[in-house]
Amino acid sequence: MTNPRFSACTLCFASQSSTASDWLRHYQDNRLNRTEPEWGVPCLLAPDVRHELAVSLSHFQLGETGGGSFLLGQASHNSSADDLAALTLFVREENEHARLLACMVDRLGGTLVTRHWTHRLFKLARRAGGFHFEIQMMLTAEIIGTAYYELLHEAVEDGPITHAIGLMLRDEAGHVAFHSDRMRACWHGWLPFERTLWQGQFQALVLVALRAAWLDHGSCLRTLGFTWEDFDQRARRTAIAFLDGLHRESATAIAPTAAHA
């Protein structure tokens, strides 16, 4: 039973998705039709681009290497079998991203890292807040990662790397939608004041994470021709789309009730 002392800001995500079986099928289907990039073809990127990109991607790779044991362990206490299976496949997709990123770093002649300040900060923050805050931190990372990968997909002129990033962007879109579905399970039962509180702290979290990401990856993005404004606007667009989706779904759910009033 849910502890009534928890606030809306704490219970930001339901213990399980309202459509767990649908998400399980999604993750099962998403494992199909995934061709491996042709890593063996020559890489013709300029040396400075290769270096900056390798360093930046190695940091993202480190962030994707978590095994998901904490998340799955917490979810196992009150999730259905389908929801736990869907979460397990979600974690496997994150691990697949770590593999693809490692291949990209290797292709660029870079070296994988085992520690970095952004990874330590992110890990400490998400573990300190428990299961629900970890999910929120993961959603924040998906939003920032989507902006970053979209810019790379536009600018990096290397077939295997753009292929791999395209696969990851396809997954990231599903991940944001997955988290949105879990969020809506709580959202429809919140008062406007509770929604405002949650949105405020979530937006603050996104802005802080966005600044930290720019400190880490700004050099790479500048080398590719992007500015802080490009990165900021791209991430804001994804965050706004996520929040707008919550409001649209809420209005749709409430409208039939209002019609019978």
Q: Which CATH number fits domain 44-259: 3.40.640.10, 2.60.40.60, 1.20.1260.10, 1.10.420.10?
A: 1.20.1260.10
Mean pLDDT of the chain: 83
Structure tokens at 23: 């998400």
pLDDT of amino acid 69: 67
Average pLDDT over residues 82-89: 88
pLDDT of amino acid 181: 83
Q: What are phi and psi of 38, to 5 degrees?
A: -85, 80
C-alpha closest to that of 55 among 98, 116, 110, 122:
110
Average pLDDT over residues 157-185: 91
Q: What are phi and psi of 215, to 5 degrees?
A: -60, -35
Q: Residue with structure tokens 């990096």?
A: 156
> What tens digit of pLDDT does each residue of 188-247 get?
888 999 999 999 999 999 999 999 999 999 999 999 999 999 999 999 999 999 998 887
Per-residue pLDDT band at 117 (split at 50, 70, 90): confident
pLDDT of amino acid 70: 64
Answer yes or no: are the C-beta atoms of 164 and 230 closer than 8 Å. Answer: no
CB under 8 A, 24+ apart: contacts of 48-52: 48/223, 49/156, 49/223, 49/224, 50/108, 50/109, 50/110, 51/108, 51/110, 52/219, 52/220, 52/223, 52/224
CA distance readout (Å), 229 to 142, 233, 237: 19, 6, 12
